Chain A
Amino acid sequence: MSRTFVGMPDFPTAAAGATHDPQLRHNLREATHTIRDKRDSAVGELDDWAQLRAAGKAIKDRTLRHLDGYLEQLESAVTAAGGTVHWAADAEEANAIVTRLVRDTGEREVVKVKSMATQEIELNNALDQAGITAYETDLAELIVQLGDDLPSHILVPAIHRNRAEIREIFLRTMADWGVPAPENLSDQPAALAEAARVHLRRRFLDTKVAISGANFAVADTGTLVVLESEGNGRMCLTLPETLISVVGIEKIVPSWSDLEVFLQLLPRSSTGERMNPYTSTWTGPTDGDGPRNFHLVLLDNGRTNALADEVGRQALRCIRCSACLNICPVYERTGGHAYGSVYPGPIGAILNPQLHGTSDPVDASLPYASSLCGACYEVCPVAIDIPEVLVHLRERVVSEPGHAAEKATMGAAGWVLNDGRRLGLAQRAIGAARSMVPRHIPGPPSAWTDTRDLPDIPEKSFRQWWRKREKAQEDETTGARQPREDGAEGRQRSDRRGGERS
């Protein structure tokens, strides 16, 4: 049985550990900056990117608005093509369906194409408990499985590992899972890929059952679509006798013409390529070509809850490209494990609390795992306004019991700020106490003063200065003898600026 995210600490706790891991920080920085630069140039090649993005958003929104109709259409089309459709309300039900389907074949081993949906429901563990071994075939997913690790990125699940670490994992564990790694394995990418190829080849040829996800499901023809880079997915989708696909209900597009948009948006946003190397499509089983039995498990697992939320539902537009992870300054410094779920990064921060609710401390902490810088929204190929949803989910979190100290502080601040006179009085109090503020403040503000200096507090607020100036000008006009304020008091706080403190 492999590791799970269950029992992980909340985001701030897990993130703090990651920020102090220099190797992890280095691996992530290198990887995210490389992909981000590639994406930039691939997107920059298209002068109609903005229109493509708007089209992607519009297609997904329309599909979500009429999801019930498209799902029924998909079911009819898949059935007509000779496949069998199963409906799963949650992870438990989906796992039970898949386990039963595998058992019915009499097999005890399955190969898997990388699939977020099956990771989400922790299918491998469920199969393991039923005595069925699932072999991951995506290179990065294989590294995670062999290393008894957890995925930390949607597209590159082993992004937190470098070549030397991967070599060590292959040498240590490949033999336990099948064909061992060559003894003289180097950490060159080609050598590592070759070791994985040899290891997986036997598995593809021997295994009778495959499990996949899908990037898209075309409603009017019942076609499923998988985009990938390595070809291992295509081996899984074509060689075994039985294919079981577990697909989230939001993966639907109405027709093939809609794919035109997404087959441009997805590769450029995810791998920074004009087109991904392998695009496989299948419409039910075909005699003498590919699997003889095809099952589609349509997974809800919280998606209709998200759909019911007018602001939050836009998260269901996500096509899992991971552009938001690669651009996110928070993800870059924490890695994916800190998010406590298979969906890390900005999209995970809005998707997980919607799929699971916010009663768990990890899910309740995720809407705060962002500085709201907006870079994720800018790169999202389907224009999910992630900052908007984060703020919306924060509202949900603070509407629940708890957070007493914060509510009191916000309430007090709101009271002061609701009246110009009250704010003026507060500013006078702050100004009077300015000399008493220590360099390191104990309690919650220490979060600031541990690593940063506080600004020096000015003696007078702007509004005090303004009033004095107005008065002086008034007196000048009326002939009263008052020296005019010249703003010189600004000099008193000049050491707010760096380098002047001793």
Chain B
Amino acid sequence: MRIALFVTCVNDTLFPDTGRAVVRLLERLGHEVVFPEAQTCCGQMHYNSGYRRDAQRLAVRFVETFGDADAVLVPSGSCAAMIRDNYTRLGEAGSPLGREAGALAPRVYDLTELLVDVLGVTDVGAYFPHTVTYHPTCHGLRVLGLGERPYTLLRAVRGLELRDLGGAAECCGFGGTFAMKNAEVSSAMGWDKARNVAGSGAEVLCAADNSCLMHIGGVLNRQRSGVRVMHLAEILASTEEEPAHT
């Protein structure tokens, strides 16, 4: 299958490993990945901060860039949720944006949805001999409704031992600009999340959204916890021949 990758601005700029892992994984599974270079950002930051017109412009750009794709892969739960859930709200009723975003939305997938629902694979042939705990992230959990998909994929990884995460459904406290505007509360939430991560006894905290991982990882780093954070794609791309860099 030909899959259009929307890598997201945060991944593109700060976490290119995730994009590379997605490409490696999908090509290993026999699919073609295309990267439309006109892509930039889904507009989530502008939308969530109340800058509707900026968000509208970015949504129009996204729809123009990806409108023809058979499947758009978004390796970030919150960005996938932004495109699927909020783009139609950004377009006034009957506007081209509202119409086109609505038509595109069903072809926009999170990584676990693409693998399990579209490509029909739960064992991606990965090898990752470490203890891992999974943070479901708010948008993956509540807006996309990813459910068991990530756990099913992780359980099929050879060598991987999956550990339960206490308070998994609770927000880590990142929330985009929330981390700046309400820094004290955001930190308190992040430190509580980090405590649960430590309590899981896992070596690696995994999620499908690097923004949350940047926040929790920032706390884990500050605490000298020894726990590493990794995007789900990097674990799934890892094989004996080409292991992920832990």
Contact = CB atoms under 8 A, between A and B. Distances in A.
A401 interface: no
Contacts of B24: 487
Among the interface residues A25, A329, A375, A427, which one has the most CB atoms of the partner chain B within 10 A?
A329
A16 to B, nearest CB: 4
Interface in A206-226: none
Contact of A462 (B7, B41, B174, B182): B7
Contact of B183 (A367, A372, A450): A450
B175 interface: yes
- Chain A facing B: main interface SS: helix
Interface stretch (A125-133, A259-267, A405-413): A405-413
B184 A12 contact: yes
Nearest to B222: A453
A334 B246 CA distance: 36
A413 B45 contact: yes
Interface residues of A, number: 75
A176 B38 CA distance: 73
B232 to A, nearest CB: 14
B116 interface: no
Nearest to B44: A372
A423 interface: yes
Given A12-B182, A420-B38, A455 B14 contact: yes
Nearest to B19: A462
Contact of A461 (B16, B51, B191): B16
A50 interface: no
Contact of A420 (B37, B50, B246): B37
Contact of A396 (B12, B46, B50, B245): B50
From B13, B57, B228, residue with most partner A Cβ within 10 Å: B13
Contacts of B51: 395, 398, 410, 414
Nearest to B47: A391
A374 interface: yes
A410 B57 CA distance: 13
Given A410-B49, A462-B20, A463-B37, A498 B228 contact: yes
A370 B50 contact: no
Interface string A440-474: 00001101101111110110111111110000000
Interface in B198-230: 214-215, 217-230
B58 to A, nearest CB: 6
A336 to B, nearest CB: 14
Contacts of B48: 372, 391, 394
Interface string B1-33: 000000101011111110110011000000000
A184 interface: no
B245 A491 contact: yes
Q: Name the prevailing secondary structure of the B interface residues.
A: helix
Interface string B76-95: 00000000000001000000
B122 interface: no
Contacts of A500: 228
B173 A371 contact: yes
A442 to B, nearest CB: 14
A465 B52 CA distance: 32
A11 B54 CA distance: 27
A388 interface: yes
B187 interface: yes
A371 to B, nearest CB: 3
Interface in A9-44: 11-12, 15-16, 19-20, 25
A292 B173 CA distance: 54
A498 B194 CA distance: 11
Interface stretch (B97-105, B106-114, B138-146): B138-146
A417 B175 contact: no
B70 interface: no
A330 B192 CA distance: 12
A378 interface: yes
A496 B17 CA distance: 11
Nearest to B221: A453
A371 B178 contact: yes
Given A371-B138, A375-B142, A501-B221, A395 B52 contact: yes
B190 A417 contact: no
B160 interface: no
A72 B179 CA distance: 47
B182 A497 contact: no
A374 B46 contact: no
B39 interface: yes
A445 B183 CA distance: 10
Nearest to B33: A466
A339 to B, nearest CB: 12
B196 interface: no
Contact of A16 (B15, B177, B184, B219): B184
A435 B89 CA distance: 41
A467 B12 CA distance: 12
B191 to A, nearest CB: 7
Contacts of A395: 50-52
A448 B179 CA distance: 7
A334 B178 CA distance: 14
Given A329-B170, A394-B49, A448-B179, A496 B217 contact: yes
A461 B12 contact: yes
B189 interface: yes
A316 interface: no
Nearest to B37: A420
A479 B134 CA distance: 45
Given A12-B185, A370-B175, A457-B14, 8 more contacts: A330-B185, A371-B173, A371-B174, A374-B143, A465-B16, A467-B37, A498-B217, A498-B227
20 contacts: A12-B184, A15-B185, A20-B184, A334-B185, A371-B186, A373-B170, A374-B138, A391-B47, A394-B49, A410-B51, A413-B54, A417-B40, A420-B39, A426-B13, A451-B191, A451-B219, A452-B190, A453-B217, A462-B19, A497-B221
5 A-B pairs closest in CB distance: A371-B175, A452-B218, A394-B50, A447-B183, A373-B171
